[in-house]
Amino acid sequence: MVAEAMAERTRKAEVNVVVAVAVVVIVVAASVPWLPSRLAKKPLKVEDIMKLLCRIAEEREKGSLKPAVGGMIGHMVGGPHGATLGEAIGTLLGTWMISGEFKPISQTIMELPPDKKQKLYNEAMTILKDLEWRDTEHLTTLVMGSEDLKKQLLAKLEKCLKG
C-alpha cells in the first residue's frame, strides 16, 4: 500500500511537471518574434513598396559614380599621387556632368502617376510574394540583404521607367 501511494504521488508529480513545461513552452512561443506564427504578412501599401524601391535605387546610385576610374588613369600617369588627384578630378567631373538636369531615381519613383505606381507595386509583389515579413521594416531588411531580390526589383523598376 505504501508503494502504491508513492507510485501515485510520483505519477501526479510527473503530470504536474509536464503541464508546467507545456505552459512555459506556450508562453515562450507566444513571445518569440521570429517564430513563423509571428511572421504573418502585414499588408503593404503602394507607398511602402515605392519607398523600398527608392531605398534600393539610392543604394545603387551611391555606387554609380566611380571616382576609381579617374584614380586608375591618374595612377598610370602620375603614380600614387596621381591616383589621388585622378579620383578627386573624376568625382568633380562626374558631379559637374550630372548637376542641373539630373534627377535622382527615388524622386522619379515618387513622382510617378498613380497608375504606374500601382503597376510597379503589382510587379514588385510578384517577386516578394513568397517572403514572410512582420512589417515594412522587416521586409526592407530582408530585401536589402539579398542581392538577388534587389536585382529583380531593379529590373522591374527599370522596365517600368523605360516603358
Instruction: Quick: pLDDT tens for 110-155.
Output: 999 999 999 999 999 999 988 988 888 999 999 999 999 999 999 9
- Dist. CA 86–CA 73, nearest whole Å: 7
pTM confidence score: 0.55
Residue 22 pLDDT level (bands cut at 50, 70, 90) = low
8 Å CB contact between 104 and 133? no
Q: Indicate the average pLDDT of the chain.
A: 75
pLDDT of 150 reads 94
56: amino acid identity, one letter: I
Please state, in angstroms and rounded to a whole number, the distance separating the CA atoms of residues 121 and 46. Answer: 6
pLDDT of residue 65: 45
**pLDDT(1) > 80:** no
Please state which of the ranges 58-67, 105-114, 152-161 shows the lowest mean pLDDT: 58-67
Burial of 74 (0-12, 13-18, 19+ CB in 10 A): buried
Residues 161 and 108 sit within 8 Å (Cβ to Cβ): yes
User: Residue 83 CB: number of other CB atoms within 10 A?
Assistant: 19
- Residue that is written with C-alpha cell 588613369 in the block: 73
Q: What is the mean pLDDT of residues 5-15?
A: 73
